Structure 1
Amino acid sequence: MPSTPAPRSTGAGTPSTAAASTSTASPASPSPPTPSPASPPLVAGTSIDRTAILVERLWSPSFAGCPGLRWALPPSTAVDDPSFEAKAYWRGPQWPPMTWLLWWSLVRAGHARSAGRLRAAAVDQLRTTGCTEYVDATSGEALGSDAQSWTAAVALDWLGHEA
């Protein structure tokens, strides 16, 4: 049984799959959506220089710095990515647990001001939407379950870390 090639980086932060050397060409697959800055490097820890680049990207117009967002929180896909859809599960909505992971990563990396901004926006969102599963990044509409336990868990943690 043939194995799937391991993902590799294209150098632009977007994963791709290394093609096996064969005599027949395979059709091109659509490119994956632009991942949120919550992608593994920031959450798992990285160099100071790389962290600064990721924090800058977090607040860029592609993510939490987009003026069309209801709250300055990162959507699950970059707003300028062609696959962005504000209500399409992992193609654009904001997810409180993912925001919490970013907040935690920023605190751990020593980016207190960015962490505070993210936490303040997230708590404001929770006050409006409640413990919903995920949120339309542009309209602020609560989506999915309206009583999500993982959202309640991050809400309690954020409230326990009053600024």
Structure 2
Amino acid sequence: MSLKIVVLKEGGEPLGDVVIDARGPPEFFDAVILGGRELKSVVAIGAVEGGVPIGVGKYTKKPVAAVVEGRVVIRGIPISLYYELGILEREIVEALGRGVTTDVALEKLKEVVIRERRRYKRSQTLAILAKYVEGEVAELPPHLIDIVGNLSRDEARKLFEKLLEEIY
């Protein structure tokens, strides 16, 4: 999978698969967590407005990467050494290759579980996920397949552990 990565420094059209927006003065500096891993080749300099957030700042927890109109937009500055050696593209492809990022899946699951617990005092989703992670259930119901369907069982286990940490 080859992505066209465009770095916007001044004006210009975002005509790539991945757009790194380095325009304007930095709002803050932070590390980018994309696809559950920290990117070493990009430093976040601000939040992305609009779109579906897929990456957050490690320390600020603000959305620094999002899918906007079918493109991945990262508000940051690429580190030139990584950019020149081609490591930037490889790192972004690996992070985006997972499909649904674990951060987005975690937030969606957390919303579902909290909603169920408010309404029924128990979460059926949490119980089903626990059984799936332990191997007692072979398949997930459709509403969970939409959220975590493309994750392996090991990735689902890690996601389940993060979910429990954040809820309890």
Same fold, TM exceeding 0.5?
no
With structure 2 as the length reference, what TM-score do the two structures score? 0.31
Higher strand share: 2
